[in-house]
């Protein structure tokens, strides 16, 4: 079966997104090599190590959801999501399937100009989040966007549960735009106006990809 292709349109052309696989049919050694490669791609993301550590826990299914707490022997009232009270609080539900989280991802895809069918599994979702024929630096930036979306969803949900905050997907995504942009400033010599970054991120990344090819 052919893998599906996702296209992203910007003012400089089309970009294709091809999902890849972590698992391999060639045995445990190939799977281990793929897992090692995946780990390297995760930790290359242009975010702070403390932020990446939380995202890594999400990818490894070690974040403190009610289901994971129960697995660790911690007594919980029930396994249902603290926010919706309808589904068990798995990673896939909390960060992707829950309506609030899904609205945040929809804003992200709209911002990137992508028509997307995302995986509900965190690891597969991260793997398919990238740009074909782009430099490693640009794909690390795509990874940073994924990480920041996950982190801001997690923080906002904790604020709703513990501080009686209100769900606001627009606020969450605005924080993602700011944090990714600030990360670019701290880790790269390339500069841009924040306005352009918010208006057309794919064109900005295409420009950085060109600059990267010229200077590196």
For residue 29, tell me if it sits in a domain: yes
Cα(first)–Cα(last) distance of the chain, in Å?
A: 37
For residue 94, tell me if it sits in a domain: yes
What are the two backbone dihedrals, phi and then psi, of residue 114, each rounded to the nearest 5 degrees? -110, 135
Total count of domains within the chain:
1
Question: How would you label 104-139 residue by residue, b for 16+ Cβ within 10 Å and e otherwise?
Answer: bbebbeebbbbebebeeebbbbbbbbbbeebbebbb
pLDDT recorded at residue 49: 82
For residue 1, tell me if it sits in a domain: no
Q: List all residues 6 or more positions away from 20 whose beta carbon is below 8 Å from its beta carbon.
A: 127, 128
Q: Which residue has the tokens 């028509």?
A: 115
For residue 73, tell me if it sits in a domain: yes
For residue 186, tell me if it sits in a domain: yes
- Residue 81 corresponds to which tokens in the numbers above? 């999501």
pLDDT recorded at residue 211: 67
For residue 191, tell me if it sits in a domain: yes
**3-class secondary structure, 29:** helix
Task: Determine contact, residues 97/87, Cβ cutoff 8 Å.
Answer: yes
What domain range is 94 assigned to? 6-215
Q: List all residues 6 or more positions away from 117 whose beta carbon is below 8 Å from its beta carbon.
A: 4, 6
Kindly give the confidence (pLDDT) of every residue in the chain, 216 residues in length, as a single tens digit, with 9 standing for 90 and above.
Answer: 333 334 444 433 433 444 443 343 444 444 444 455 566 677 777 788 888 888 889 988 889 888 988 888 888 888 888 888 888 899 999 999 999 999 999 999 999 888 777 788 888 888 888 766 666 777 788 888 999 999 999 999 999 888 988 889 999 999 999 888 887 777 666 666 788 888 888 887 777 667 666 655
């Amino acid at each position: 079966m052919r893998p599906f292709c996702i296209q992203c349109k910007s003012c400089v052309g089309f970009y294709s997104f091809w999902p890849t696989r972590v698992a391999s049919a060639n045995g445990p050694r190939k799977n281990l090599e793929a897992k090692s490669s995946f780990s390297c791609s995760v930790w290359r993301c242009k975010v702070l190590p403390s932020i990446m550590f939380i995202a890594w826990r999400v990818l490894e299914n070690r974040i403190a959801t009610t289901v994971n707490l129960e697995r660790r022997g911690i007594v919980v009232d029930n396994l249902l999501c603290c926010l919706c009270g309808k589904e068990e609080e798995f990673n896939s539900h909390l960060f992707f399937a829950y309506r609030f989280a899904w609205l945040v991802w929809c804003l992200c895809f709209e911002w990137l100009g992508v028509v997307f069918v995302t995986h509900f599994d965190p690891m597969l979702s991260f793997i398919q989040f990238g740009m074909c024929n782009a430099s490693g630096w640009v794909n690390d930036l795509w990874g940073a966007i994924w990480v920041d979306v996950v982190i801001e969803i997690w923080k906002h949900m904790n604020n709703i549960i513990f501080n009686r905050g209100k769900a606001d997907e627009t606020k969450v995504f605005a924080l993602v735009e700011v944090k990714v942009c600030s990360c670019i400033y701290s880790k790269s010599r390339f500069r841009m106006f924040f306005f352009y970054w918010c208006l057309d991120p794919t064109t900005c990344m295409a420009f950085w990809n060109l600059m990267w090819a010229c200077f590196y």
